[in-house]
A and B are shown apart, each in its own frame.
Chain A
Amino acid sequence: MKLFELFISLAFVNNVVLSKFYAICPLMGVSKKPKNALNMGLAVIFVIVIASIVTWLLYYYVLVPLDIIYMDLITFILVIASLVQFLEMLLKKTSPEVYKAMGVYLPLITTNCAVLGVALDNITAGYNLIEAIVAGFAVSFGFLAVIYIFALIRERLDYSDVPEAFRGAPIALISAGIMACAICGLAGLI
């Protein structure tokens, strides 16, 4: 039950994108086509869940015993970078179409704040391994939901008559703001 609460709170109430501002760059960059957004979201789920397991294990079984906690940032970012590289090779071999569609955005997962942010948050919040996995999945699921909905909204925006000055990034940001307002409504849920 506690894990379920954790999931709901991280995926919806404290959504990573709309209330913590992680991962705005892919939100603005990738979310033009719903299908790409979905692929991106799935790739991010994969990277975040594995990254949160690996970084948690590394932190508590390597960095803490050796008393080199100050190396956490460098270790975590290397883990994430190699995971993304691995995912890139995996996709290239198994599904070249998805690989092509993701294009330049795949290596950019490395610089997705959500991945490093979750790894660091897991440590500061003092989660155990199970909680860290649930937190990783919840955060990335929240990211997938927001990026997919946002892509659908942007598709509609393309057909609507937006004032000239607001076309493109400004109206996208304002729609994100309205979505954030909606997420605020869930605040009392937990």
Chain B
Amino acid sequence: MKDKLNIIKNGIIKENPIFIMLLGLCSALAISTSLTNAVGMGMAVTFVLIMSNVIISTIRHLIPDEIRIPVFIVIIATAVKCVQFLMNAYTPALYTSLGVFIPLIVVNCIILGRAESFASKNSVIDSLCDAIGMGLGYTLALLIISAIRELIGTGGLSFVNPFNATQTIFRFSFFKSCAISLLTQPSGAFITLGCILAYLQHRRLKKVIEIQKGERK
């Protein structure tokens, strides 16, 4: 049980797909303009990851090694198409606001990367845990980026029920008059993620220096 939890935790923190491995940045940067989008995209990617990881690890002994990548891609594309139909039916507002980035989950490096490096080598349960961990890690990263962008870019935070676009769950407005709208622009996405990565690097460097100091003593 403990090692399953470790696999999940590994995906969320130690190997966070966006902040640590820098995978799947395209969709993460493009849709992180509001919390609602972040949650929707996170759900979609998590669902696709779970489906593809489980299917691939179930049939991993049947796939010939030479053509494994095309097989993976077809499985992933099928899963994405399912998600696309489901979102079109149950979350139409989210479906239009995420637009082309839902079908583009097919070419999201996280999913193919996990299929290649984890699901094709591990058991079904482990792959399921890995998919949940990676999906949650991706969602968490999206939430952090979009919270920063929405807060500074529009001066408030809001969250709309993904299944019913007319129902607003919360809406705060803090400093609407001095919002920096650059952060809602494409360039704001790059700068926000750059600053977050710099902060994480700073923390890592500090840890290394502390360890070196400890060794000297």
User: Which residues on A are within 8 Å of B, measured CB to CB?
Assistant: 18-25, 28, 70, 73-74, 77-78, 81, 107, 110-113, 115-117, 120-121, 124, 163-174, 176-181, 184
B205 on the A face (CB < 8 A) = yes
Given contacts A121-B100, A170-B198, A177-B188, A74 and B77 within 8 Å (CB-CB): yes
Q: Are B103 and A165 in contact (CB under 8 A)?
A: no
B178 on the A face (CB < 8 A) = no
B107 on the A face (CB < 8 A) = yes
16 examples of A-B residue contacts, CB within 8 angstroms: A18-B186, A19-B186, A25-B25, A25-B109, A113-B27, A113-B104, A166-B194, A170-B194, A173-B190, A173-B191, A176-B190, A177-B188, A177-B189, A180-B190, A181-B182, A181-B187
Residues from chain B with a CB closer than 8 A to the CB of A178 are: 187
Given contacts A165-B202, A169-B197, A177 and B191 within 8 Å (CB-CB): yes
Question: Besides A73-B106, A78-B74, A115-B107, 14 other CB < 8 A contacts?
Answer: A21-B29, A21-B30, A24-B26, A25-B22, A25-B24, A74-B74, A74-B77, A111-B109, A164-B201, A165-B201, A165-B202, A165-B205, A173-B197, A174-B194
Q: Are B22 and A184 in contact (CB under 8 A)?
A: no
A9 to B69: give the CA distance in the assembly, Å. Answer: 35
User: Which residues on B are within 8 Å of A, measured CB to CB?
Assistant: 22-27, 29-30, 69-70, 73-74, 77-78, 80-81, 84-85, 100, 103-104, 106-109, 112, 182, 185-191, 193-195, 197-199, 201-202, 205
Task: Count A-B pairs with CB separation below 8 Å.
Answer: 129
